[in-house]
Amino acid sequence: MGVDVFFVISGFLITSHLIRKPPLTGREMAQFYGRRIRRLLPASFAVLAATAVATRLVSAPTQWESIAKEIIASALYVQNWVLAGSSVDYLAEGNDPTPTQHFWSLAVEEQFYLVWPLVIMAAFWIAAKRRLRAGVLVRYAIAAVVVVSLVVSVLATAAEPGAAYFITPTRMWELAIGGLVGSVAPLTASRLNPSANAVLAWVGILAIVVAGVTYTEATPFPGSAALIPVLGTALVILAGSNSSLSPTGIFRWTPVQWLGGISYSVYLWHWPLIVLLPYVSGGDLGWLDKAVILVATVVLAALSKTFIEDKFRFTKSAQGLLPTFRFAAAGMILMTVLGAAQLAEVNYRSQQAEQRLSAIETSGDPCLGAAAIAKGFDVCEPDPTAELVPEPELAKDDRSDAYADGCWSNAPFTERPICTYGSGEKKVALVGNSHAGHWLPALQKLAERNDWTISTFLVSRCNPTDVPLEFDTQEKTDNCLAYGDWVLEQTKGDKFDLVITSERQSVPVQGETWETTEAPAVAGYRSYLSAWTDSGTTLLVIKDPPYPGNEISSIPDCLAENENRSANCTGSPEEWHWPDPLHTAAEILESHRLSTVTMDRYFCADDECHPAIGGIVTYFDGSHITATYAKTLAPYLEKPILEAMKPDVQS
């Protein structure tokens, strides 16, 4: 709730200032923006520069690219839009937090500052032209922004909560609510009893606390849910009581005032320390780590306030418009150059890694990839110090061609892409979500060898099944069911010589929890598979192999952070287990047209599952197989697939 409180206070302060001294000329507008630049940009540039250097020195190479891009986005104050884009990317869910992601709220604020003076200036200009009361017209203009933005927020949150959390149109009303409070006299100026005002202020604080305690990650936000903390904050400001019973007395304590004075720098410094310290301490944040972060944040913030914020705000040489705007341009250019330099290094390392990968793939190594575990580690002895391929930073993008070729139906699952690979006589369909798609590289190799044509019917997160799944909007739930119906129509009967399907149950069945979802999920797949086989479709279900998503969010990140210590990234089959109701349903059904195959033995051996096998990284995140490792699985998939194609195959 801190961000929402922050927005209301920010809107209140800036609007109060604009109403007292509205910018009515171009120069006055430039002076307003100049004050904002001197107040906000020097400290933010300092933190971004320090973060860029610290990232290169202490973080894993797998993080360099994403952090560099976000440093540029933060310097240009568009970080919220970058995060909005990644929030709807299923494959970005396992990404580690970056040390600059908190700049999204500052980006929203800066975008608000670009627009808001124009709104206030327009209201005053129209009032002067029409001989209207400027204060009244300003309140009407602000109220209009509140209504429009709140409606957008509610609708966007219902349609795509992830993106709605970050984008400016869904947050503008929160700042405007603060502006509305700033446009009216506080209740202390009215005839209300000061004690009554104090009660209202405490009610506002209670609203903030209740929202903070009761809201969970399942609460659609911002939307209408944000009304409680936003209106609570507005009520605290509006009440403004001087009564001894009022919380204002607490706010005026010297330590609270001092902390408020350095709060901007506290906000800037705290998150980079939280994200980057574990790279130094070597693990999760313990009590000592948190104490260090707390002390370091306050110390750095106090220094920033004294030697950066105040120097730029109050030094006379920095007050001119030309030096101010020149500084802003130079700072943004410098941060962009820093980020671009890091991206250039990442690109160079990737090119080198691609060359090594190409050489190894054509080397004919008999222990490469899955062959090592198939022959046994006593024959193909692992070397924990050997250089891995792809290198961890390259492994994060080592995905099947389905991604580059745009073969996915992404949320809200209204698209129906079909991609084709090969031009052989035998026709094979690959159906399912991303855990079907990661088998494509192996199937492509087999298609070349066996004269197949592969058609993909791939959808992200959604499962083609007969039961509704619990997405964050009903639209996605309904569209996912409709996608499954469409796939069934496209693939049933004798349209394909074989339909290969595999799934990850990435969301529970609607109305169920993860603890209760397996049984109804199995029932939904039994019905769906029966409809397939009853229509004469020949099916092969590939069991989803074990993966570390419950324990390790990203195998490449783990390997990069534990160079020459890959054992730190292993796990047992039990730890890497995830229910596979599709495979369970296929095992239950009895049909000569349905067969199954399990590839677990090529990921786990001797009760241990491996992040790299035969020198190849096995996963490009916490659950998806790298394209390079999938290719080495092709020889072990070939026989089950050929047997499944036979008309007399038994389940």
Residue 648 has pLDDT above 60, yes or no: no
| Full DSSP string of 215-275 | --TTS--SGGGGHHHHHHHHHHHHH---STTSTHHHHTSHHHHHHHHTHHHHHHHHHHHHH
| pLDDT reported for residue 89 | 53
Residue 649 has pLDDT above 50, yes or no: no
197-218, pLDDT tens digit by residue?
888 889 999 999 999 999 988 7
| Full DSSP string of 279-339 | HHHTSS--HHHHHHHHHHHHHHHHHHIIIIIHHHHH-GGG-SHHHHHHHHHHHHHHHHHHH
| Full DSSP string of 385-419 | TSPPBS-HHHHTT---HHHHTT-EE-TTT-----E
Cα(397)–Cα(337) distance, integer angstroms: 24
| pLDDT reported for residue 488 | 96
| pLDDT reported for residue 403 | 93
| pLDDT reported for residue 361 | 67
Residue 95 has pLDDT above 90, yes or no: no
The percentage of residues in the chain with a pLDDT greater than 70, rounded to a whole number, is 96
Strand partners, 541: 501, 596
| pLDDT reported for residue 355 | 80
Mean pLDDT for the stretch of residues 328-343: 95
- Out of 313-322, 471-480, 562-571, least confident range: 313-322
Cα(620)–Cα(388) distance, integer angstroms: 13
Mean pLDDT estimate for the chain: 90
Residue 499 has pLDDT above 50, yes or no: yes
Which residues neighbour 557 within 8 Å (Cβ) at sequence distance 6 or greater? 60, 62, 63, 96, 392, 396
| pLDDT reported for residue 60 | 85
3-state SS of 127-170? HHHHCCCHHHHHHHHHHHHHHHHHHHHHHHHHHCHHHHCCCHHH
- Out of 182-186, 220-224, 302-306, 330-334, least confident range: 182-186
Cα(46)–Cα(38) distance, integer angstroms: 13
Residue 508 has pLDDT above 90, yes or no: yes
151-175, pLDDT tens digit by residue?
999 999 988 888 999 999 999 999 9
Residue 189 has pLDDT above 60, yes or no: no
| pLDDT reported for residue 190 | 56
Quick one: which of 570, 440, 581 has its CA closest to 504?
Answer: 581
Residue 117 has pLDDT above 50, yes or no: yes
DSSP letter, residue 539: E
Of 24-38, 128-142, 168-182, 366-380, highest mean pLDDT: 168-182
602-628, pLDDT tens digit by residue?
999 989 999 999 999 999 999 999 999
Name the pLDDT band for 650 (thresholds 50, 70, 90). Answer: very low
Mean pLDDT for the stretch of residues 397-402: 92
Residue 572 has pLDDT above 80, yes or no: yes
Residue 414 has pLDDT above 50, yes or no: yes
C-alpha distances in angstroms, 137 versus 20, 126, 175, 259, 526?
A: 15, 8, 18, 36, 63
CA Rg, the chain, in Å? 29
* DSSP-derived 3-state class of residue 578: coil
| pLDDT reported for residue 651 | 38
Domains of the chain: 2-184+253-341 (no CATH), 377-645 (3.40.50.1110)
Mean pLDDT for the stretch of residues 530-544: 95
| pLDDT reported for residue 616 | 92
Q: What is the pTM assigned to this prediction?
A: 0.82
Of 222-231, 342-351, 642-651, highest mean pLDDT: 222-231
C-alpha distances in angstroms, 396 versus 85, 414, 611?
A: 18, 28, 13
Helix (H) or strand (E) holding 181: helix 172-182
